[in-house]
Amino acid sequence: MRELIQILVNALVDHPEQVVVNQVGGSHVSVYEISVAKTDAGQLIGKQGRNANALRTLVAAVAAKNRQRTVLQILE
């Protein structure tokens, strides 16, 4: 899951080398924290949060197939 998030976020930002995805523990819910460069935060979130919502939808669909729940947090 972490690799999927890394690939998707790298495609959205201008500085993919500064993207960091960390998984914060949890048995029933996996929390992924995404950290990007300050200049890329707007691109990752998108207009009215559309990119962030689309990313959350994709990750939730993959997680649902594995009977898991995920939460994405975008850190600035």
Rounded to whole angstroms, the Cα distance separating 50 from 59 reads: 14
The residues spanned by each domain of the chain are 2-75
pLDDT recorded at residue 25 = 77
Q: Which helix (H) or strand (E) holds 34?
A: strand 29-35
| Closest C-alpha among 74, 63, 58 to residue 29 | 63
In terms of CATH, what superfamily is 2-75?
Answer: K homology (KH) domain (3.30.300.20)
pLDDT recorded at residue 72 = 93
- Give the sign of the dihedral formed by CA 49, CA 54, CA 57, CA 59: negative
pLDDT recorded at residue 71 = 93
Give every residue of the chain whose pLDDT is below 70, as ranges: none
